[in-house]
Chain A
Amino acid sequence: MAIRVNPKLIGELKRYGAEDVHNCYHCGNCSAVCTHADDVFVFPRRPMRFLQMGLEKRIEGILDPWLCYYCGQCSSQCPRGAEPGETMMSLRRWLTSRYDFTGISKLFYQSWKAEIAAILIVALLTASGFLWYGVSHGDIQTYDGPSAFLPSSMVHIFDWAMASVLVLLLGINSIRMWWLTTGSNEKTRGPWWAYLKCLYLLPLHFFTQKRYGKCETRRSWLIHLALMLSYVTMLVLIMFFLRLLQDGPGIRWAVHSFGYLASAGLLFTIGYAVYGRIRKTEVHLNHSHESDWIFLWMLLLVTATGVLQHVLHRTGTGMAANVAYLIHLALVVPMLTLEVPFSKWSHLAYRPLAMYLGDIHRIALARRPQAARAMESLKMAS
């Protein structure tokens, strides 16, 4: 069965950041230099080819873009300036929008104005929601205690509710990812026991991103790891230790020292990324899509307001602290509800999932007869 070439797709990908893909003439240098590419996952060349030819179904079906950590070596080595690294990034954006069943992701990637508008709307809704609660249940001057404006118990319940919604959305999208890349194709689906055997890969890659460490530039991995662990620390503190964290006025060093470390980590790594993108210090920071900026700025603002409200609280200005906290929450909510399932932050699920599914693919392929395996490792049969 012949598959129809669609030269229009590449034009659509421009909105997602793909540039110069046409320059690629398939010398294969990029795949040769990539530390992670192998016989089964030939990238960035295979995704570049599918993209040039507009084979949407094929692109939806591959894991390759997620196996890439954008060290940028491929782009440095490309003799034609076809930017394979950035193309992989743009494919990740496109795939994010395809895995998303709601269509919101697609809207955001194609229009940064829509994303900003959505953020503002959610921020305003959040702010008005919390403001109404605070005004009706407490006193704006008070941060701690029974008449607290934004008591930790309430915020805690809200956090868990929001988290559940997020997990649900992301979970559904992740299942769609599994179906498109693995489940719908009997050649890659793999036996049920493989799913159990490889399960450890999910937390392993989530927490350590150890494959990123194998890229030629270790520094990027370390910075990202620091960013991620700082974030996870804050998340754990907020989800499980909110009362200890929030309620003052004193400082509980056992808890707060983690918070300070994490905040410092966040500020440093985000600052590094922002600086890098402005000055284009490294290959993978040369190209910045609006979604990259929105993500970074939101993260920075959230961290900054979080630190601010803590400082204001602990230095005694209750109202200022509450206002800062309100702003903080008004930023946190859109950041998490919009960025995680629909935008750049979705990679926290898709990447580890891709590592996991990648091994399942390998097991499935290894079980196929010898001759068919060689053929199919290089193409996805329809």
Chain B
Amino acid sequence: MAQLKIGVYVCNCGTNIAHTVDADSIVETVWKIPDVTIARSYRYMCSNPGQEMIINDIQGLELDRVVVAACSPRMHERTFRNACKSGGINPYLFEMANIREQCSWVHSADRLSATAKALALTKAAISRVRCHEPLDPLTAEMCPSTLVLGAGIAGMTAALELALAGHPVCLVEKTDRLGGNLARLDLTAPYLYSARDVLQERMVRIRQTENISVLLNSQLKSLTGFIGNFTATIANGNPSADEKVLHVGNVVVATGYKEFDAARITHYGYGKLPDVITSFEFERMLRTGRILTKAGKEPRYAAIIHCVGSRNKEFHGYCSRVCCMTALKYAQEIKGAIPECYVSDLYIDMHAFGKGCEDFYKKSSEVKTLFLMYGKNERPVIRKAEPGDDCEMLIEIDEKLSGERIEIPADLVILMVGMEAREDSGEVARLVNISQDKDGWFMESHPKLDPVATTTEGIYIAGTCVAPKDIPDSVAQARAAAGRILGRIAKGKIEIDGVFAEVNEDRCSGCRMCNELCPYSAIEFDETKKRSHVIAAACKACGCCVAACPSGAIKGRHFTDQQIYAQIEGVLA
């Protein structure tokens, strides 16, 4: 192999590195290594002059490898790779040694040892970079069609957003109608818009938009491929109909939630006491226009209990987010319909977090709702009242604001059931290759910075299938997902990072051990050749197949065995 020309740069980072690590001595030592053409130290390598230095050296000294010993690669690897690119060499012919976060900052009392360690890390980087190969990104076509799973408010919004931008959308819905859970509601909190009006608008527009093809009574049967190039098979509930095969570029998962089964909490007597109902059952009652007990009378006392199935160690620890405001809505609606009714609201905390919500809470107080607070892992107990009482049921609880153990009269009890992940969410996650968290909600790529994408490129999630949320947030996420997809479609092609795993077909024995290991299902088995093959676009370069292959046939680009051995040798030299 021809002699390499390696440039080594040791950053002082002002005094961050320099106060502990003797950069100059490292420069002096490494410059003695035969293939290190130049070694320099500089105050701030990441600054413009620092980068210029690298660029000039690459061009002037014809360097073909660059090593920078500085901060963490998580900070500036991209910066220096770009500098290499500007200098004219492949950005992957670069390696960084972390001598700040993992050296100077953590061994500040021991200059000698810190410098020795920094030298070892630099040498390791030099050893490794010798084994680096130039890597180029791949490109693939981006199909402009999108598959949307679920025709609730989120699904419909995403579909409309994409279709109105001019791209075909296939909207797949499991049930026989559009609207999802929102169609079961009467009014929405806090502005008391009619749910029906909100949905009607969406449904009419969908019908009028030619680009959207709606498949009711349908489910996704399989999804193969990678971003820009998925193949989806949709099965219809009708057994005689053929399965539809679609070619799509992206998928939006908006499958929604299901409500908690209140019968699981026996103290509430749901299913046994006739006038203990869930929030959805109450919505149905509101839509009929009259609030009545099972016996057909107007209730004199009504009680609403928050956090049924939510915020509880036994069932679900999370908050279902929308129930507090919905409960306040019920308090106001009951008072509006039956002014003489005494409404009690049993809550743990009042989550009134959004626009208009604190005012909505105040309004509920003004209409004379009695608010009673109970403890997080406690549960009110509902029992039938005695014949002498002037109410049907009594609710007993330790009330926290007064410190008393109380009994509350109630003729009607409304249980605010929480949201939970649908039973089929596990199946959906498996089909599209996304993860679920411990509560069954789909996991986003980053909880703060990337809320609608998933770790599988091309699969987006929106709405309550991600976590409990209200209508504004579901719509926002749906539009966000649509926006991301539109951005991708606009580019026309997709660029796939050059770091992925590759199977050397000569070495592959066809044992297929790697096929099952890949969390992204990115390894397929070629039946004709009887060899495994990595779908580069789907590979995330985790390396588990590389380590597992008994034949050593899989190479993890940029993290090859050779490179790591070189690093080990360098670090211990």
- Chain B binds chain A: yes
Taken together as a complex, chains A and B put the C-alpha atoms of A22 and B331 apart, in Å, by 13
CB of A55 within 8 A of CB of B402, answer: yes
> Is A26 an interface residue, CB under 8 A from the partner?
yes
**A7, A25, A55, A58: residue with the most chain B Cβ atoms closer than 10 Å:** A7
Summarize A's interface: helix, strand, loop or mixed: loop
B464 contact set on A, CB distance < 8 A: none
The smallest C-beta distance from A210 to any residue of chain B, in angstroms, reads 31
Taken together as a complex, chains A and B put the C-alpha atoms of A53 and B277 apart, in Å, by 24
B409 contact set on A, CB distance < 8 A: 4-5
Taken together as a complex, chains A and B put the C-alpha atoms of A55 and B405 apart, in Å, by 12
A46 contact set on B, CB distance < 8 A: 402
B399 contact set on A, CB distance < 8 A: 53
> Is B332 an interface residue, CB under 8 A from the partner?
no
Closest partner residue, chain A, to B395 (CB atom): A5
Q: Which residues between 267 and 294 of chain A lie within 8 Å of chain B, taking CB atoms? A: none
Interface size on A, residues (CB 8 A): 24
Interface size on B, residues (CB 8 A): 25
Q: Which residues between 1 and 39 of chain A lie within 8 Å of chain B, taking CB atoms? A: 1-5, 7-8, 10, 20, 22-26
**Contact (A379, B404) CB under 8 Å given A8-B342, A25-B365, A80-B362:** yes
CB of B406 within 8 A of CB of A23, answer: no
> Is B366 an interface residue, CB under 8 A from the partner?
yes
Q: Which of B58-66, B99-107, B367-375 contacts A (4 or more CB under 8 A)?
A: B367-375
Closest partner residue, chain A, to B389 (CB atom): A4
CB of B370 within 8 A of CB of A22, answer: yes
CB of A49 within 8 A of CB of B402, answer: yes
> Is B122 an interface residue, CB under 8 A from the partner?
no
Closest partner residue, chain B, to A382 (CB atom): B404
CB of B407 within 8 A of CB of A52, answer: no
Taken together as a complex, chains A and B put the C-alpha atoms of A1 and B404 apart, in Å, by 9
CB of A5 within 8 A of CB of B405, answer: no
**Contact (A3, B406) CB under 8 Å given A25-B365, A80-B362:** yes
CB of B405 within 8 A of CB of A52, answer: no
> Is A345 an interface residue, CB under 8 A from the partner?
no
Taken together as a complex, chains A and B put the C-alpha atoms of A70 and B344 apart, in Å, by 30
Taken together as a complex, chains A and B put the C-alpha atoms of A99 and B408 apart, in Å, by 27
B373 contact set on A, CB distance < 8 A: 26
> Is A120 an interface residue, CB under 8 A from the partner?
no
Taken together as a complex, chains A and B put the C-alpha atoms of A183 and B365 apart, in Å, by 36
Closest partner residue, chain B, to A21 (CB atom): B368
CB of A26 within 8 A of CB of B342, answer: no
The smallest C-beta distance from A43 to any residue of chain B, in angstroms, reads 13
Please tell me which one of the listed residues B366, B368, B370, B396 contacts residue A53 in the complex, with CB atoms under 8 A apart.
Answer: B370
> Is A50 an interface residue, CB under 8 A from the partner?
yes
Q: Which residues between 380 and 424 of chain B lie within 8 Å of chain A, taking CB atoms? A: 396, 399, 401-409
Taken together as a complex, chains A and B put the C-alpha atoms of A359 and B350 apart, in Å, by 37
Task: Kindly supply a per-residue 1/0 record for chain A positions 254-273, scoring 1 wherever the CB is within 8 Å of any chain B CB and 0 otherwise.
Answer: 00000000000000000000
> Is A232 an interface residue, CB under 8 A from the partner?
no
Taken together as a complex, chains A and B put the C-alpha atoms of A4 and B389 apart, in Å, by 11
Taken together as a complex, chains A and B put the C-alpha atoms of A50 and B350 apart, in Å, by 20
CB of B407 within 8 A of CB of A4, answer: yes
Give chain B's interface residues, CB within 8 Å of chain A: 301, 342, 344, 350, 361-362, 365-366, 368-373, 396, 399, 401-409
Give chain A's interface residues, CB within 8 Å of chain B: 1-5, 7-8, 10, 20, 22-26, 46, 49-50, 52-53, 55, 58, 80, 378-379
Instruction: Give the top 5 A-B pairs by smallest Cβ distance, nearest first.
Output: A379-B403, A7-B342, A2-B407, A49-B402, A22-B368
